[in-house]
Amino acid sequence: MIETQLTADSNRVQALKQASQFLLDAGLESARRDARLLMLAALNIAHTDLLAQPREALGHEAAQRLIAFLYERKKRVPVARILGEWEFWSLPFTLSPATLIPRPDSETVVAAALINLGDRRHNSEGLRVLDLGTGSGCLLISLLHELPQARGLGVDLSSEALDTALINARRNHVAERASFLQSDWHAAVDGEFDLIVSNPPYIAERVITTLEPEVRVHDPHLALSGGHDGLDAYRSILAGLQRLLAPDGVAVLEMGSDQSESLARLGRDAGFELTGPYADFGARPRAYAFRKR
């Protein structure tokens, strides 16, 4: 029982080893990383504090928090859900049940967007950014952080997701340049935008039941399911891009690593020129940039 191992008198090094072993025994491949993140959160310290004071005792409250965290993780609740927040583009993002956990693969969208903006990245005055299916707001907020004179609109069908995105805009000091709108993709959106980004749901419905429980159980189904072939959201988004993109604007869409050919075909059939694909940190195709012909 982990309760008999983790006590108020356990020092941090001992506790980390015991927590790691507990999660390893539960069959979690990321046990050591997860144990470290959960212990830092239980203690409310940074990694540097752990390195500086490895023999410090946990204390009763931190030990109890850590034990509770470990049991949640054993049940395959993702670390980010346990903590209620996660990092993206080196910024902190609050999570809710209506939002995906921001993933490093999605940083490809931000990087590709900045690349395609060219010189406008350095003079973003008057730049308008649209994020379709904003969720936690991680794409929009990261871009506004990089484009200090730009303004942005985040759109989502979920009102709870929009509430979370607003919290994150305030948390990351871009709320005065960000607005949010409830809409089924672009249906309620007016105007033209210089940059449009989206990480739409792109998993085929039949595949969702095969996913790890961290995703299948704890990520919102609305943000996962791309319909029978995983491409429904792209069809909806591409149908609105001609109206929404400014003449020299660019759209960057995330995709599944096996959807490069399918999305390229949809984009060209819809009348767009494509740049990419842009690869994620695992060297897998992750995003395309679209421009009007």
Q: How much is the pTM?
A: 0.93
Reported as a single tens digit per residue, the pLDDT across 106-143 is 999 999 999 999 988 888 899 999 999 999 999 999 99
pLDDT of amino acid 99: 97
pLDDT of amino acid 237: 96
Query: In this model, does residue 173 exceed pLDDT 90?
Result: yes
pLDDT of amino acid 195: 98
pLDDT of amino acid 214: 87
Q: What are the extents of the domains in the chain?
A: 2-75, 85-292
pLDDT of amino acid 129: 98
Q: Which residues pair with 156 in a beta bridge?
A: 182
Residue that is written with structure tokens 């792109």 in the block: 202
Query: What distance in Å separates the CA atoms of residue 117 and residue 119, rounded to the nearest whole number?
Result: 6
pLDDT of amino acid 3: 81
Query: In this model, does residue 2 exceed pLDDT 90?
Result: no
pLDDT of amino acid 9: 85
Band of residue 20 on the pLDDT scale cut at 50, 70, 90: very high
Arithmetic mean of pLDDT over the chain: 95
Query: In this model, does residue 4 exceed pLDDT 90?
Result: no
Query: In this model, does residue 223 exceed pLDDT 90?
Result: no
Q: Which CATH architecture has domain 2-75?
A: Orthogonal Bundle (1.10)
pLDDT of amino acid 245: 97
pLDDT of amino acid 225: 84
CB under 8 Å to 98, separation ≥6 — which residues? Answer: 135, 158, 160, 161, 164, 220, 222, 223
- Strands across the sheet with 245-254, in order? 178-182, 151-156, 128-132, 193-198, 245-254, 285-292, 272-279
Query: In this model, does residue 240 exceed pLDDT 90?
Result: yes
Reported as a single tens digit per residue, the pLDDT across 31-70 is 999 999 999 999 999 999 888 888 999 999 999 999 999 9
In the predicted model, what is the mean pLDDT of residues 245-258? 95
Cβ distance 202 to 254 under 8 Å? yes
Cβ distance 78 to 214 under 8 Å? yes
In the predicted model, what is the mean pLDDT of residues 93-97? 97
Q: Which CATH architecture has domain 85-292?
A: 3-Layer(aba) Sandwich (3.40)
